[in-house]
Amino acid sequence: MENVIEIKNLNKKYEDFSLNGITLDIPKGSIVGLIGENGAGKSTLISSILGIIKSSYDDLKIFGLDFKTDEINIKKDIAVIFDQTHYNEEFTPNFIGKILSRVYSNWDQKTYLKYLTRFKLPMKKKIKKFSRGMKMKLEFAIAFSHNAKLLILDEATSGLDPIVRDEILSIIREYTEDEDHTVLMSSHITSDLDKISDYIAYIHEGKLLFMKPYDELREEYGIIHAGKELLDSLNKDDIVGYVKEAYNYTILVKNRSLIQSVFKDLEMTRPTVEEIMLFHVKGGCERW
């Protein structure tokens, strides 16, 4: 499988935090959801990949090109959307189009106008008068108008209402219908990632815990509601974490099919991304 991003042993050290030995491949044509608690290192990783902050690594390739020698070429094909617009709020979409047509050699003004119309964004209104949803849609219109092959979103959908978020998820899905298009997306709204991710990459305290296909995750893990007796009879290595509720335990297990083959009548549900994250972080505890 072709990879759009290949990172080998990326490290970044701050005084009180370090990203440690991140090795990660992002497959072409996929949507990769990047998860992790506050301060886990998601933004630091994204900024490192983009060269916004300086990090060390054994290898960083994007589109098969070496980031150290081809940064400028690589960046032409990347669009990044953060949780805030980085355009001057005095600008209008009309003016931004004019500027960007000079910045990007592959700027497509027709496509830009098409998206502005589709998103109902007024050409001549200053961005400062836009709602947050409108600002994010403008970012997407821009990203899609210079034919970016890699879209990186860092908390881009936070603070948006469910309807706008849903619309944005549809736009992202539509974007990846072209198999040359890839998305790396960090979000705390894990239900959004449940809806669209092909892979989940999980960063915890500066380390990559795993990067796995979403379907495999749902296949591998299971949620069990049971009593202490069952908790005690499970193989300890299969228990990712558990929570004691009023009358029983909620347990996140690995090796779901193996457990099911031993405990045939046991009811197991498939966990959401949020449950996988919570149980990994909290381990075994009385309650969250």
Ligand X SMILES: Nc1ncnc2c1ncn2[C@@H]1O[C@H](COP(=O)(O)OP(=O)(O)OP(=O)(O)O)[C@@H](O)[C@H]1O
* Tokens 């228990």 found at: 239
Helix (H) or strand (E) holding 277: helix 273-282
Instruction: Please state the closest distance from residue 206 (CB atom) to ligand X, in A.
Output: 7
Instruction: Please state the closest distance from residue 172 (CB atom) to ligand X, in A.
Output: 19
Q: Which is nearer to ligand X, 85 or 92 (CB)?
A: 85
Q: Which is nearer to ligand X, 17 or 263 (CB)?
A: 17
Sites for ligand X among residues 17-46 (CB under 6 A): 17, 36, 38-44
Q: Which is nearer to ligand X, 30 or 187 (CB)?
A: 187
Q: Which is nearer to ligand X, 83 or 108 (CB)?
A: 83
Task: List Cβ<8 Å contacts ≥24 apart for 198-201.
Answer: 198/27, 198/30, 198/31, 198/32, 199/26, 199/27, 199/30, 199/31, 199/32, 199/33, 200/32, 200/33, 200/35, 200/273, 200/276, 201/24, 201/32, 201/33, 201/34, 201/35
Task: List Cβ<8 Å contacts ≥24 apart for 189-194.
Answer: 189/157, 189/158, 189/165, 190/33, 190/35, 190/272, 190/273, 190/274, 190/277, 191/272, 191/273, 191/274, 192/157, 192/165, 193/33, 193/35, 193/273, 194/272, 194/273, 194/274
Instruction: Please state the closest distance from residue 282 (CB atom) to ligand X, in A.
Output: 17
Instruction: Please state the closest distance from residue 16 (CB atom) to ligand X, in A.
Output: 6
Q: Which is nearer to ligand X, 36 or 93 (CB)?
A: 36
Instruction: Please state the closest distance from residue 36 (CB atom) to ligand X, in A.
Output: 5
User: Does residue 14 touch ligand X according to CB under 6 A?
Assistant: yes
Q: Which is nearer to ligand X, 191 or 235 (CB)?
A: 191
User: Does residue 13 touch ligand X according to CB under 6 A?
Assistant: no
Residue count, binding to ligand X (CB under 6 A): 12
Sites for ligand X among residues 129-168 (CB under 6 A): none
User: Does residue 261 touch ligand X according to CB under 6 A?
Assistant: no
Sites for ligand X among residues 225-254 (CB under 6 A): none
Q: Which of 152, 193, 135 is nearest to 42 (CA)?
A: 152
**Sign of the dihedral defined by the CA atoms of residues 141, 146, 148, 152, in that order:** negative
Q: Which is nearer to ligand X, 40 or 277 (CB)?
A: 40
Instruction: Please state the closest distance from residue 188 (CB atom) to ligand X, in A.
Output: 6
Instruction: Please state the closest distance from residue 5 (CB atom) to ligand X, in A.
Output: 17
Contacts with ligand X by CB under 6 A lie at: 14-17, 36, 38-44
